[in-house]
Amino acid sequence: MKYDLVLVRFGEITIKGRNRNRFEAMLLTQIKQALIAMPALEYVRGYARAYIHLNGESYEQVAARLKDIFGIFTFSPVISSTQELETIRERSLELMRSLNPAPKTFKVSVKRGWKQYPHDSVEMNHLVGAHVLRNTPDLKVDVRSPEAELKIDIQHENTYIYCEVVKGAGGFPLGMNGKAMLLLSGGIDSPVAGWMAMRKGLKVEAVHFHSYPFTSEEAKEKVITLAKRLAYYSGKIKLHLVPFTELQTKLAQSGHDSLIITLMRRSMLKITEKLAQQSGALAIVTGDSLGQVASQTLGSMNVIGRSASLPMLRPLVMMDKQDIIGYAERIGTFQTSILPFEDCCTLFVPKSPATNPDLKLVERIEAHLGDEFERLIEEAVQGTEVLVLREDGGLEVDGERKEEDAWF
């Protein structure tokens, strides 16, 4: 079937009250940016929806991109018609005949946005349905559970006919709810947490801690690849690569083996908060899932989270691992996440890490480390390397564009 246009329905942003216009305008801008490689497309913004006129462009290519744009609730491939009854009936029959596989049952659902149309919705259901039945002998009507629902939307300017409703990513347009820093490891969870944060309208900057030479260049490149995948959803993403070797070594030498993970993660939050201040971010996103490892018990999350004053956002905290894996597969990060390269979180792991650490003891250890602890944190911040990964796979380092092959 050669479709004329795509009907895009907005999601949660339709309940934004006086801010709704701003949200819808941003979403349409982001849709245009995502489809910029197809210049023939034309866009018309309607009430709680948008129409994308294909003008010969591939519906399949447009649909593949629309599925991943945050803020879109659903969309449908549409054939258009004039308001004449016979034209609507012929176009409806044309669409029903094109469905593959051919349905055995159907029903017609007519909606009249243009109330002056001479036939009401019930009449139109019969007028169109009877025409389709007469010309499709094997088809029957089933109003309760049809295999296909022929939807006809009669508006003042045009009539839109479609059967398929495709689910979008949902959420809010990217960046409309502010900016947050994402702790991005090489594992399965944190990229999913980043995707979920972006889905709720947050612009995200990723922060990765590496302990070269204890961690390899492959581990670093693995994280860059994950960030690159997240950039597909956001247009581009900034990745902060934090040197963690000296600070991590110092913590490992503190003589408190069971608390190393707690101390390490508190240090990461302190560093991330300083980077957030530089970037104007107002929250920290983590891939924590309650009870998954020792650092993600309620007691550990309490002690670790108290090292930062910014709000801690944990999108995965109540999810099962299998559900998280399902999301990782869906957003295209799973195969990279399972590559067997160690990151700094797997170094110096004690045999019996604390699952319910004592906050006062942890604070005393940090105080005992004194000025050197603060110096190492500041040096880690100052030594951070910043990459900007673009949707097209390109790379910028400190604002300067570099060739992709130099890094991937």
Residue count (the chain) = 408
Q: Give start and end residues of each alpha helix (H) in 101-204.
A: 121-134, 189-199
- The tokens for 353 are 């890490």
Whether residue 27 is annotated as binding a ligand: the answer is: no
Strands (E), 11-128: 42-46, 49-53, 72-81, 105-112
Cα–Cα separations (whole angstroms), residue 294 to 153, 350, 351: 55, 11, 11
Q: Which tokens sit at 65?
A: 């991109």
d(CA 408, CA 405) in angstroms, rounded, equals 5
| Cβ atoms of 19 and 68 closer than 8 Å | no
Per-residue DSSP letter, 399 = T
Percent helix, strand, coil in the chain, to 5, is 45, 20, 35
Q: Is residue 33 a known part of a binding site?
A: no
Helical H runs in 280-351? 298-305, 321-331, 334-337
Residues 48 and 328: their CA atoms lie apart, in Å, by 30
Query: Is 287 a known ligand-binding residue?
Result: yes
Instruction: Quote the Cα angle for 263-264-265, to 5°.
Output: 95
97 known ligand binder: no
Q: Whole-angstrom Cα distance, residue 14 to residue 201?
A: 14
The token pair that represents 93 in the structure block: 């029959």
Euclidean distance between CA atoms 310 and 269, whole angstroms: 9
Question: 184 among the known binding-site residues?
Answer: yes
Q: Return the closest-CA partner of residue 299 out of 315, 310, 288.
A: 288
User: CB 333: neighbour CB atoms within 10 A?
Assistant: 24
Strands 5-10 and 49-53: antiparallel
Residue 21's CB is within 10 A of a number of other CB atoms, namely: 12
Residues annotated in the binding site for ATP, as ranges? 183-184, 208-209, 265, 287, 296
Residues annotated in the binding site, as ranges? 183-184, 208-209, 265, 287, 296
